[in-house]
């Protein structure tokens, strides 16, 4: 470097000029990158840099780029032929270097682009869902002597005028054997290091580089090992006790554990080390495996139906979509486990998506028991440290199983061999907001195609979408992007497979479902929320020492509170909903809570409207049911399992463990209970009131109610003892209730499908919902009306009234209409629905233009294939 005559204060400028000259010869390329720092995050955008000619960059590489006065880590996203028109090319800075090539799987960026396109979202928003912040945050920026500077004994340095701080930094680097320090260290050692480092960089005396996240940076934990067989004589009683504990535990414990067990201080253990009795060592410990490691578990001998399903999955090479339709308790998880084993052996990885973290501990345990530390858990509730470790493990590329919720479909896992979506019908796989409003199943299909691997969708109650897609793929609304929107080709039909597990393990029967007509209960003088049947069932639990589950549609105590004198209903001041009453003995406070915006106020002593003290509670939540239970069955011990009681980290696991350990007789909970719990001792399942599920203003209400009730019923009788299900309702004749009672998935779904087809609703037609919201009631309404009118007049070949034989694809505009709860958290909400036939994508309006038409106070979300219309 010192021999370069250009080196000088202006050296860098001269070199840059030279490169700009090249740009005129058409050699220039630009790249959009995701800069990894909070300031850049806050800007919610990608940054453009120029690619120096000598640099080979691929999307997915990790780069170092200048950003303000810093050099930061960045992910290369997209190479562009032209700089953005609003940027002066002379102002665009150069990428400094490639820090780590091929950091992400090659198809990864294609997937993210596809999501951005289909869900009408900017790429940056997709990236922010896919890659939560802080991936590169811990990669270190380091400084080293420029090549040649080390040996030349500082001669080059002295050729320039250097500030004292710069000299000091050079000296430090030279004194260090590898000539290399982290920025952080230098900044701590040298005052004014920042400016001096820039000075040295300009003179090319030093180089800065980013150390990529290390593939080996485990969390170290201190472990204590016993190293003597005979204890020395000069020990105190206490010290002996500690060594005894260590010996009984196999002579080896984590320091924290030992301290906890013995209630000792670390100085006591240090003394024991000094006496030569134990050794304290740092030991690697991944935060991802912090949960208890389980005893190894062997593959089970499969039932004939399981074997058939497994063979079918194992025989697939390349992309295929499989529906594994198995009744509750039929052993789907065992099929996943055995399908994944050979994939890991081949050095590939598998991705397993589950609906909610509540059931993940149990499922994760089953996977850990089978595959040990090859399993890692990925979801949005991870701490930063856990996330970092999980990233590290994923990107290290070793064969592994990643289990996670919705956003885990974006886990940057290389060499995917299989994707599994368990409980594929579950609506938590769909993101309503913010954008992208993606469905993990749709994204999983694309990802499996891109990676050319099979996708297995498992459920006891498959969604209508999946059912139709697998059984008659040619009829389904395609989820392809516009160019590929034409009818699914015949070859693709061969890529869908239907596999069935029609029976429970060991031919255990599905539990009989008893439907109780609550109108009759009342007529016959039973005013309890428990029917006589359910009371009998609960009594039996108590007598026979068995366990049960009570399903309640809502948490809290009562769904609303109203005045008996004037009829006033206490509502949320920010939303158009009534407040729910919350009260438990543990909390010892009477509260009213909004389930939409979480507003809380104390429960008034008298009616805020007329002052009457006679307030009445309506609608039963989990707390109310628990209270009634305590009154009628004081001996039954229960655990409430809902979002009120599972807020803290690890609460799901703790509550479920207590339940399976027999510390309670009953689990009382909401929706969370329906999702995959496998507790063999549960014999009784009671649905306190099915009606809350049946009568919702949504074309999917029946499908969802059927799925929920069938799933919750499926928790009963999974072990040796037969199960029993009691569903209480005021509409016993309802088609959903009847189908659940008879365990009739197929006939129910066929009727449902006919109704959907008649109305051109999904899965036959497709929907796009425009959600508008604003704090200004009038403005959002006006905007909704304006957009809807514009959409209707632009709709190709008119609206719904037009001649349906027209060959031009068209869409129907429904609305604008206020959302069924107009105001939530002080925002007024309006909706416009676009509905269109599946066979070809109509020319849809440019949603970006629509956004521009909205005044700044109105926000617009495009919900593609919406599930929640409320």
φ/ψ (deg, to 5) at 549: -130, 135
Q: Which stretch of DSSP H or E encloses residue 654?
A: helix 651-660
Does 810 interact with Zn ion (rule: CB under 5 A)?
Answer: no
CB-based contacts of 412, cutoff 8 Å, min separation 6: 104, 105, 108, 130, 131, 391, 394, 395
Do 423 and 355 contact (CB within 8 A), yes or no?
Answer: yes
β-strand 496-501 against 320-326: which pairing, if any? parallel
Which residue, 334 or 703, is less far from ligand ADP as judged by CB?
334
Q: Which is nearer to ligand ADP, 332 or 700 (CB)?
A: 332
Q: Given the complex with ligand ADP, which of 681 and 802 has the nearer CB atom?
A: 681
What are phi and psi for residue 270, nearest 5 degrees?
Answer: -60, -40
Q: Which is nearer to ligand ADP, 399 or 505 (CB)?
A: 505
Q: What are phi and psi of 773, to 5 degrees?
A: -150, 155
Q: Say how many residues touch Zn ion, by CB under 5 A.
A: 15
Comparison of 133 and 361: residue with beta carbon closer to ligand ADP: 361
Taking CB under 5 A as the criterion, the residue among 79, 227, 396, 566 binding Zn ion is: 566
Q: Does 770 bind Zn ion (CB under 5 A)?
A: no
Q: How far is the CB of 537 from ligand ADP (least distance, A)?
A: 22
331 binds, among Zn ion, ligand ADP, none (CB under 5 to 8 A by kind): ligand ADP
Residue 417's closest CA among 373, 454, 377, 472? Answer: 454
Among 115, 146, 309, 563, binds Zn ion (CB under 5 A): 563
Per DSSP, 774 falls in state: E
Type and span of the H or E element at 257: helix 255-262
Our CB check for ligand ADP shows the closer of 300 and 519 to be 300
Classified as helix, coil or strand, 390 is helix
CB of 596 to Zn ion, least distance (A): 5
Of 135, 575, 705, 788, the residue at the interface with Zn ion (CB under 5 A) is 575
Look up residue 128 and give its DSSP letter: H
Q: Find which of Zn ion, ligand ADP, none residue 479 binds, CB within 5 to 8 Å per kind.
A: none
Cβ-based nearer residue to ligand ADP, 208 or 303 = 303
Q: Which of 493, 612, 746, 868 binds Zn ion (CB under 5 A)?
A: 612
476 conformational bin, left if phi > 0, alpha if psi -120 to 50, beta if neither: beta
DSSP designation for 733 = T
Gap between the Cα atoms of 404 and 423, Å rounded: 13
Q: Which residues bind ligand ADP (CB under 6 A)?
A: 300-303, 306, 326, 328-334, 505, 678, 718
Q: State the binding partner of 599 from ligand ADP, Zn ion, none, CB within 5 to 8 A by kind.
A: Zn ion
Residue 54 or 661: the one with the smaller Cβ distance to ligand ADP is 661
- Smallest gap from residue 381 Cβ to Zn ion (A): 24
> Is the CB of 195 or the CB of 300 nearer to ligand ADP?
300
* Distance of closest approach, residue 375 Cβ to ligand ADP, in angstroms: 16
Strand partners of residue 321: 455, 496
* Per-residue DSSP letter, 287: G
The reply to whether 592 sits near Zn ion by the rule CB under 5 A is no
- Of these partners, Zn ion, ligand ADP, none, which one is at the site of residue 393 (CB under 5 to 8 Å by kind)? none
For residue 353, state whether it binds Zn ion (rule: CB under 5 A).
Answer: no
Give the one residue of 131, 552, 572, 753 binding Zn ion; rule: CB under 5 A: 572
User: Residue 580 CB, nearest distance to Zn ion (Å)?
Assistant: 10
> 597 touches which of ligand ADP, Zn ion, none (CB within 5 to 8 A by kind)?
Zn ion
Min dist. Cβ of residue 592 to Zn ion (A): 10
* Pairs from 579-587 (Cβ < 8 Å, separation ≥ 24): 580/554, 580/555, 580/556, 580/621, 581/556, 581/557, 581/617, 582/556, 582/557, 582/621, 582/623, 582/644, 583/557, 583/623, 584/557, 584/623, 584/626
- What is the rounded distance in angstroms from the CA atom of residue 727 to the CA atom of residue 196? 75
Q: d(Cα 578, Cα 570) in Å, to the nearest integer?
A: 6
DSSP 568-635: -B-B-SSSSSBPEEEE-TTT--EEEE-TTT--EEEPPSS-TTT--S-EEEEEE-HHHHHHHHHHH-TT
607 binds Zn ion (CB under 5 A): yes
How far is it, in rounded angstroms, from Cα 89 to Cα 48?
10
521 binds, among Zn ion, ligand ADP, none (CB under 5 to 8 A by kind): none
Query: Which of Zn ion, ligand ADP, none is residue 286 near (CB under 5 to 8 Å by kind)?
Result: none
Tell me whether residue 310 or residue 780 sits nearer to ligand ADP (CB atom): 310
The answer to whether residue 609 forms part of the interface with Zn ion (CB under 5 A) is yes
Question: Applying CB under 5 A, which residues contact Zn ion?
Answer: 563, 565-566, 568, 572, 574-575, 594, 596-597, 599, 607, 609-610, 612
């Amino acid at each position: 470097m010192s021999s370069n005559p250009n080196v000088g204060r202006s050296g860098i400028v001269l070199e840059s000029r030279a490169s700009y000259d090249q740009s005129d010869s058409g050699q220039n390329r630009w790249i959009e990158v995701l800069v990894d720092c909070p300031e850049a995050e806050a800007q919610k955008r990608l940054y453009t840099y120029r690619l120096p000619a000598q640099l080979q960059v691929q999307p997915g590489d990790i780069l170092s780029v200048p950003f303000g006065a810093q050099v930061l880590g960045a992910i290369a996203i997209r190479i562009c032929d032209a700089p953005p028109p609003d940027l002066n090319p002379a102002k665009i800075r150069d990428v400094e270097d490639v820090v780590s090539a091929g950091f992400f799987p090659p198809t990864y960026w294609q997937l993210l682009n596809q999501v951005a396109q289909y869900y009408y979202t900017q790429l940056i928003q997709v990236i922010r869902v896919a890659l939560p912040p802080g991936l590169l945050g811990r990669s270190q920026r380091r400084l080293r002597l420029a090549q040649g500077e080390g040996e030349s004994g500082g001669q080059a340095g002295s050729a320039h005028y250097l500030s004292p701080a710069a000299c000091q930094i050079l000296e430090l680097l030279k004194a260090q054997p590898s000539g290399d320090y982290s920025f952080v260290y230098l900044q701590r050692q040298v005052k004014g290091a920042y400016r001096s480092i820039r000075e040295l960089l300009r003179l090319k005396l030093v180089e800065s580089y980013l150390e990529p996240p290390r593939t080996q940076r485990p969390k170290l934990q201190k472990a204590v090992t016993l190293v003597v067989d005979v204890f020395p004589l000069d020990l105190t009683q206490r010290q002996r006790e500690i060594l005894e504990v260590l010996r009984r535990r196999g002579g080896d414990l984590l320091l924290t554990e030992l301290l906890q067990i013995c209630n000792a201080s670390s100085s006591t253990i240090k003394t024991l080390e000094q006496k030569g009795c134990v050794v304290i060592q740092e030991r690697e410990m991944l935060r991802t495996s912090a949960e208890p490691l389980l005893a190894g578990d062997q593959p089970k001998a499969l039932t004939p139906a399981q074997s058939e399903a497994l063979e079918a999955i194992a025989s697939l090479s390349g992309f295929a979509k499989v529906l594994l339709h198995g009744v509750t308790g039929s052993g789907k998880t065992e099929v996943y486990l055995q399908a994944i084993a050979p994939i890991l052996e081949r050095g590939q990885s598998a991705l397993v998506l589950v609906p909610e973290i509540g059931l993940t501990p149990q499922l994760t345990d089953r996977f850990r028991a089978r595959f040990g530390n090859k399993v890692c858990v990925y979801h949005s509730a991870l701490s930063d440290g856990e996330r970092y470790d999980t990233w590290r493990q994923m990107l290290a590329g070793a064969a592994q199983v990643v289990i996670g919720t919705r956003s885990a479909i974006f886990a940057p896992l290389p060499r995917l061999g299989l994707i599994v979506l368990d409980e594929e019908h579950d609506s938590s796989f769909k993101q309503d907001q913010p954008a992208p409003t993606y469905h993990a199943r749709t994204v999983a299909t694309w990802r499996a195609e891109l990676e050319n691997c099979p996708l297995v969708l498992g459920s006891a109650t498959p969604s209508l979408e999946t059912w139709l897609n697998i059984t008659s793929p040619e009829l389904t609304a395609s989820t392809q992007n516009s160019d590929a929107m034409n009818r699914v080709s015949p070859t693709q039909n061969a890529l869908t497979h239907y596999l069935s597990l029609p029976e429970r393990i060991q031919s255990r029967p599905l539990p009989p479902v008893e439907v109780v007509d609550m109108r009759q209960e009342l007529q016959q003088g039973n005013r309890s929320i428990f029917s006589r049947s359910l009371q009998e069932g609960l009594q039996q639990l108590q007598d026979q020492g068995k366990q049960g589950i009570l399903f309640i549609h809502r948490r809290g105590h009562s769904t609303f509170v109203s005045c008996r004198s004037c009829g006033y209903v206490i509502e949320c001041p920010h939303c158009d909903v009534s407040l729910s009453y919350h009260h438990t003995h543990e909390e010892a406070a009477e509260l009213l809570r909004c389930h939409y915006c979480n507003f809380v106020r104390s429960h008034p002593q008298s009616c805020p409207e007329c002052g009457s003290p006679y307030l009445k509670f309506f609608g039963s939540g989990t707390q109310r049911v628990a209270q009634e239970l305590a009154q009628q069955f004081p001996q039954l011990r229960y655990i409430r399992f809902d979002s009120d009681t599972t807020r803290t980290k690890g609460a799901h696991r703790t509550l479920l463990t207590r339940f399976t350990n027999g510390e309670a007789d009953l689990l009382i909970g909401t929706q969370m209970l329906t999702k995959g719990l496998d507790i063999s001792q549960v014999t009784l399942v009671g649905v306190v009131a099915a009606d809350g599920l049946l009568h919702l203003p949504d074309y999917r209400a029946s499908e969802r109610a059927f799925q929920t009730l069938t799933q919750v019923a499926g928790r009963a009788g999974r072990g040796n003892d037969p199960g029993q299900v009691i569903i209480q309702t005021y509409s016993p004749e309802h088609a959903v209730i009847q189908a659940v009672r008879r365990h009739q998935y197929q006939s129910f779904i066929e009727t449902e499908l006919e109704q959907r087809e008649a109305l051109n609703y999904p899965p036959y037609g497709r929907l796009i919902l425009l959600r508008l919201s604003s704090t200004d009631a009038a403005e959002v309404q006006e905007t909704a009306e304006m957009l809807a009118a514009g959409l209707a007049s632009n709709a190709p070949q008119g609206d719904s009234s037009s001649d349906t034989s027209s060959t031009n694809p068209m869409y129907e505009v429904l609305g604008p209409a206020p959302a069924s709860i107009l105001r939530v958290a002080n925002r007024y909400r309006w909706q416009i629905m676009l509905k269109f036939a599946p066979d070809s994508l109509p020319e849809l309006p440019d949603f970006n233009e629509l956004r521009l038409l909205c005044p700044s106070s109105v926000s617009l979300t495009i919900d593609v294939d919406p599930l929640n219309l409320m």
